[in-house]
Chains A and B, each alone.
Chain A
């Protein structure tokens, strides 16, 4: 299975909004509403930020939102804050009942 495709890096200034894309295929993102997003700060384990494409777990800021169109999922962070600087990974369920991650996106807050 191939990894989902994410941009290597994105950046934005405090207060701005950014969007991270996650491109899959009709065998994963395009066929299931089972996309999740993870935030990882250096030296820490990943943290679940979005699941089932659009759902935020309890305790996750409403500045984080998810969406999907066709084979592409997106994570949007509004009102960027310095603490949002981290690596972000998408994940999807697949036709083979396996799971696949994206390559990760490094978010820099300028």
Chain B
């Protein structure tokens, strides 16, 4: 059973950078069948795809966030990470990581999600 729990700070100040990590267990992050995705959900709102990365480093970003987002993969640690810069209150959300099927683009499984609040 593949697990993808998120980790990182729950409170970040405006204008600073958010850093989150997702650690893959129960399966290989280097599988050729999957990308690894970050998705977020502001309180009371819908899901927003942030980006997906392949183990080789090939990556796709949501155009609306591309200028502020960096997603990296570290296969030696079975981890992938998210950095989001220039934070505002609008970035307050539950951030999820998920496995993203290559050649299908469905998300399963998901992490439990981590609430990140942007506030001074």
A46 to B112, CA, bound (A): 9
Supposing A97-B60, A99-B52, A101-B47 touch, asked if A48 and B104 sit within 8 A by C-beta, the answer is no
Question: Is B15 an interface residue when CB atoms closer than 8 A count as contact?
Answer: no
CB closest chain-B residue, reference A101: B47
What residues on A are CB-neighbors of B64 within 8 Å?
A: 1
Question: Is A110 an interface residue when CB atoms closer than 8 A count as contact?
Answer: no
A46 near B47 with CB under 8 A, answer yes
B100 near A99 with CB under 8 A, answer yes
Question: Is B113 an interface residue when CB atoms closer than 8 A count as contact?
Answer: yes
A3 near B46 with CB under 8 A, answer yes
A36 near B47 with CB under 8 A, answer no
What residues on B are CB-neighbors of A96 within 8 Å?
A: 60, 63
B104 near A100 with CB under 8 A, answer no
Return the CB mask of A81-92 against B: 1 if under 8 Å, else 0. Answer: 000000001011
B46 near A57 with CB under 8 A, answer no
CB closest chain-B residue, reference A90: B47
A46 to B97, CA, bound (A): 11
B60 near A48 with CB under 8 A, answer no
Supposing A45-B96, A51-B106, A99-B52 touch, asked if A104 and B46 sit within 8 A by C-beta, the answer is yes
What residues on B are CB-neighbors of A98 within 8 Å?
A: 49, 60-63
Question: Is B20 an interface residue when CB atoms closer than 8 A count as contact?
Answer: no
Give me 25 A-to-B residue pairs in the complex whose CB atoms sit less than 8 angstroms apart, sorted by A's number.
A1-B62, A1-B63, A36-B104, A36-B106, A47-B110, A48-B109, A51-B104, A51-B106, A57-B108, A89-B46, A89-B47, A91-B47, A92-B105, A93-B104, A96-B63, A98-B61, A98-B62, A99-B49, A99-B60, A99-B105, A101-B39, A101-B48, A101-B49, A102-B46, A103-B46
A1-B63, A38-B107, A45-B113 provided; 9 other pairs, C-beta below 8 A?
Answer: A34-B106, A48-B106, A48-B107, A91-B105, A91-B107, A99-B37, A99-B52, A102-B46, A104-B47
